Structure 1
């Protein structure tokens, strides 16, 4: 059988282990490999779980493991009872999932940024949608705000002009990247401008602190911490690619910018 067929069968087997039906996978347009990785991840982090994870459940589980007094270690292994003819398809993902487990359990890594819906990490895993859980999580995060507390700093006029109302993650990362390279502030780049930006980075370097200072000086106070975390995570994941002189044709760098920022043809 082909590798694709094996991956699909393995994904269905893992989903069935958590009573996730094939119709649900098809309706969500789930990628077989993303399903396999998510199944391995959830088995390592929550071996007693019986339901497929959604983003809120995953975040809560990782947070709980991080809070344990003794460092948590979760080992990625082939699920018990996995048919022999599916072992290779699942085994192929064990190493990368184990590496991601280490990142999740590393307290120095900003968890919310790592799990952001548009991030590269989340793209590798199939998680169920659960709007009610997300709403409940949102309310829980805000119920601790004290009534009568001094209102946070509002956005400056400079921030408003720079963002022009575009404050989704892709637009903000585009703006922050421009700031970190000393380029004109934009929330949307053409392919040509993006390529010029990469060349400038490789010639003069990337200066993340310039964007961080801008956030702290001009962004809305209520969102500054989240924006700094978003930016720092992007820098950690992307700096090596953006500064890689061996990528002569800029293929990797531009692919990264198309994925993480706003780049149009």
Structure 2
């Protein structure tokens, strides 16, 4: 197999401009999926724009894994596997529901690396969101792409049976069950089979269970801060390892701006900070 850096020679896709009406219905549906008591009526909370600006490729344009075969910012590497790795959000002003919005996305940093589990490509996509010509959100999302499967995966790995203890001021136990994963996949136009097809997860991608969406975990952390009446203007987050359906985790945080998702005995699977 050629080094992945060679596959990226000359790859520099043009920026992409998209529009959305920011209809209220998506916010109501997300509130129900998250278990939030009330849906927003006028402004989107941080990260809730993830259920807008959706892309629905034709069925024939999807690969065996359910992920699009091609896309503006998908690197041209063979047998591509995608993982959501982290990101950053800066809120100048909240997006207003019912007001047309524009998103301009462009390719950021692209780095090919060789690790213990094989070659990987790290890709950052930077997006700016505007309403009435005014910048309201700036976002960067980091993805890791691998060619083929990682030999480090273990479909028989030991799973946690309880959430860890914590002294964090804010705590919320959480378990990502298959029904919630299905609803979140539908809300975000995510047809990746790792979130709903258990045999595929185990037999093809070698995961021990359905994978809980990284964005779902990050959204739950942002909601933890919002529920404690701490507005989020800046948010940075990193996903260290996957969480699987049925695994008990603990959402932790505090007014010091630190957030995390933890699993027993005390492992940080998502690390985040806000201001």
- TM-score normalized with structure 2 length: 0.24
Structure with the larger RCO, 1 or 2 (CA within 8 Å, 6+ apart): 2
Bigger proportion of residues as helix? 1
Larger Rg: 1
